[in-house]
A and B are shown apart, each in its own frame.
Chain A
């Protein structure tokens, strides 16, 4: 066999591997979507009142006006449609949105520790939301949360910016400071306005809770996820260009500053919407992208869609645990995400891949 034939052979082998890789990824994606649908359905059935999957399907069919819907007891129907379904859908949208935000922040700042919670966006958004709810500031709730997240982002990055550069270490440190400040201000406002069970409310904003979910929270978080999330997923190629840093991105024809600020603004918008309905839930944005990279590889075209699906799945599971483990009392869901997230994070730090983090 001559050289040309050998090269040809190698090329087709590489092509075959590529096709296999694509098939493997699509299989993971399909499996994840299926698990997400199944988990969402099961999560609706779990709770103090007995609800079966058939009840869930029947209730859904009835409300969506599908033909041949079976009869459901009115009580079961309102538990499904008014209580559990909005909560599960909100959890899905918030989980997906936070995970996607984390993935974008990690790529754009080239900082594996970047995430809306760690860099202070979530607590800024909490503060904005609490200002509206408790102090009665006359701004729409998601808008206030967005402004809070944006202010926290700008504050974190300007503190971290010394001599024109932002190092990962400084970004995390200043994010920590802003997160503490936002958390303290949020707590103070709730405490000062003290009516009823303020401690529980403080915890819900600082650690996150989906207990108050309604169809309006589904609309807020879902709209943000669909509109902002679609824009982000379509920016996958631009995110790839940041792999070797700003100069490399610029030589690949990317307007680095504009791209970075548009994407970070989009993340602030999305985080604002998510925190407005759920409070500041940690670890979803930090952990999920790292876990998903293990399945999808670092290319954003594959990373982002899978991150969305698995982020949604993760938060549905975490929230279901939060409301059932100590039934009838409910834990803030942030406790569960931290309990799952911290060990995973430790494994990631200790693993070989963390060599790239230093």
Chain B
């Protein structure tokens, strides 16, 4: 199995930025803000955030902000809640939230809340419980949750709950581990986990662990390293993580490493990317793998960053 090849992963993340000429990196240009969050959060969990020039990153982030207050996935693209949270999270990593006009960002987000409590992802009106999480997490980090109707927001998320205990994109949508993370995370941040049937959801989530030790995102699907985050963090927030076998999952994640060139893939022997590298490392952090910083399961930032935000005003 081997160990976590920390130095190689750091090298891999730093190199991704430089490999701009591959087709894959051009295809993903519009979500570079997410990529920045995945890469930088990984570096921080590995204790290597200082390997990068933060000023350069922050300057670029601020160039992605629009007049509305929202952030785009990259310079020239349109603002969206998906990238607004990533931008705020990266600034939080660097302890540079003060460069933001927090009210302006909060106004952008609160302006996207709909009458029924749900959130649109941007001005075009797509509604999804993922956006409820993005809004709530972002406002929580900015200490601006009072800007939205929290009761309605929580009730909308509760209306996405299914008879299997999980949550879907909209009321009636099928349960999916990523969606469950969003809904459970939003309920956690708003002190509303009483809306979750912890035993029912806990059983559904723990049955995501397949024979190889990896986790899948829905019944009868293949395991994937990214669910080490979506499923694990949800299990932790509802205090049911002991219902899976942690050692087998650690093994599965470590087996997905590219031990030569760094990076982590979805399954063993597949091509690596930043997304799976982050979710693999974050998963290991949730599994208390030695040498990694602890990560907060709801705000998806290192615990020391979250504690700095909430307990050192």
Binding partners A and B: no
Binding site for B on A (CB under 8 A): none
B residues with a Cβ closer than 8 A to A are none
